[in-house]
């Protein structure tokens, strides 16, 4: 199981996850240059909410690695050609450009950026799920997005190149004008169908109320302790609980949240936002069980964690009447499933 420190320190591990550039848009939309492929140093700094010097320093220290992943410095004729294609109006004599892979590479190197940290958290969450969740009839992770990009590229070529070519031929041709018009109409029908197909894919692949949103656990991993407690409180309210109070702090007497179920039973909750590779142990559960049953006389006790429980911890929870809401169950609960103990 990789962790955040390993991503910061190991080029080999960074290379193993560099294809997951979709993570950048899940954390924060990455605005690209008109050619749809690159961003400037200033754009990278803005994206990660750091100064220009922080990015320039990383480039200086890791230039070879970044160049291997799409970073480049344009000058001379190469720069002039890029300006013409992208429409950039600038008198600069050189222009540093980052591909999406290079931007993701920066995220795994940049220490003092909350945005970069959230990107790393997403990568860790997806790596964890890939290792722990069984998959039947697996499909390549980027298959849908690749099809989408192909459709868009073909549509672009048809609309911007092929159809204008037919227009020019029709204007200058007499003998074959009718055939050319018919061919142009056929190309335009194909272009329209591709656009309709792409729109249908977008609808099918977009988030729905009856389907979990991608990255639900990654978002929780990016929260601090208080934010996580507030999120659990929101889930309780969503499921009909009342009098929900977040109590976390030095005087919480061993619980983080108290509430009443919809039918009036007293609930106490312990929240632990741990890294996915850690585990809740039996002493953690024993301590909470004592507080829940003795100090607070609870009827429902939830131990909610962003990580797994050890086998002993699960056994003690079951024996003590504690509901262990482990990482997998928390993801289902967050995505809309109800906890049976609250019904």
pLDDT tens digit string along 60-77?
Answer: 999 999 998 889 888 888
For the chain, the distance separating the N- and C-terminal CA atoms, rounded to the nearest angstrom, is 36
Task: Give the model's pLDDT for residue 144.
Answer: 47
Three-state secondary-structure class, residue 265? coil
Task: Give the model's pLDDT for residue 136.
Answer: 47
How much is the mean pLDDT over the chain? Answer: 79
pLDDT tens digit string along 158-215?
Answer: 666 776 776 777 777 667 777 878 887 888 788 777 777 666 666 555 544 444 444 6
Give residue 235's pLDDT band: very low, low, confident or very high (50, 70, 90): very high
Residue 116, token pair as written in the block: 């970069």
Q: Render the burial of 150-175: b for 16+ CB within 10 Å, e for the rest.
A: ebeeebeebbeebeeebeeebeeeee
Alpha-helical segments (H) within 241-294: 282-290
List the beta strands (DSSP E) in the chain: 38-40, 72-75, 94-99, 242-246, 257-260, 266-272, 300-305, 322-325
Q: Name the residue with higher pLDDT: 311 or 30.
A: 311
Spatial separation of the C-alpha atoms in residues 301 and 261, rounded to whole Å: 11
By DSSP bridging, strand 266-272 and strand 300-305 are parallel
Please, which residues bridge with residue 73 across strands?
A: 96
Q: Name the residue with higher pLDDT: 215 or 57.
A: 57
pLDDT tens digit string along 243-269?
Answer: 999 986 655 567 899 999 988 899 999
> What are the structural domains, with CATH classification, of the chain?
4-132 (no CATH), 223-335 (3.40.1350.10)
Spatial separation of the C-alpha atoms in residues 71 and 59, rounded to whole Å: 9
Are 277 and 307 spatial neighbours (Cβ–Cβ below 8 Å)? yes
């Amino acid at each position: 199981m990789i962790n955040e420190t390993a991503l910061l320190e190991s080029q080999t591990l960074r290379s193993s996850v560099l294809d997951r550039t979709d993570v950048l848009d899940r954390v924060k939309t990455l605005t690209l240059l008109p050619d749809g492929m690159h961003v400037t140093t200033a754009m990278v700094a803005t994206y990660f909410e750091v100064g220009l010097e922080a990015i320039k320093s990383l480039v200086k220290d890791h230039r070879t690695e970044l160049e291997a992943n799409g970073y480049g410095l344009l000058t001379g004729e190469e720069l002039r050609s890029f300006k013409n294609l992208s429409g950039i109006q600038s008198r600069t004599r050189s222009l540093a450009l980052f591909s999406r892979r290079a931007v993701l590479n920066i995220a795994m190197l940049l220490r003092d950026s909350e945005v970069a940290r959230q990107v790393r958290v997403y990568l860790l969450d997806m790596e964890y799920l890939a290792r722990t969740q069984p998959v039947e009839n697996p499909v390549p992770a980027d298959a849908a997005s690749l099809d989408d990009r192909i459709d868009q590229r073909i549509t672009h070529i048809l609309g911007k190149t092929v159809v204008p070519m037919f227009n020019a031929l029709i204007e200058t041709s007499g003998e074959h004008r009718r055939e050319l018009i018919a061919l142009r109409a056929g190309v335009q029908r194909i272009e329209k169908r591709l656009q309709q197909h792409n729109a249908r894919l977008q609808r099918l692949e977009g988030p729905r109320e009856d389907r979990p949103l991608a990255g639900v656990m990654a978002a929780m991993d990016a929260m601090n302790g208080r934010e996580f407690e507030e999120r659990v409180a929101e889930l309780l309210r969503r499921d009909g609980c009342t009098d929900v109070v977040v109590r976390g702090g030095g005087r919480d007497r061993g619980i983080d949240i108290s509430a009443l179920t919809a039918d009036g039973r007293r609930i106490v909750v312990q929240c632990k936002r741990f890294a996915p590779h850690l585990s809740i142990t039996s002493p953690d559960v024993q301590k909470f069980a004592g507080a829940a049953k003795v100090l607070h006389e609870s009827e429902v006790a939830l131990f909610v964690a962003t990580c797994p429980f050890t086998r002993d911890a699960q056994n003690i929870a079951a024996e003590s009447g504690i509901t262990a809401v482990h990482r997998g169950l928390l993801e289902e609960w967050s995505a809309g499933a109800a906890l049976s103990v609250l019904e």
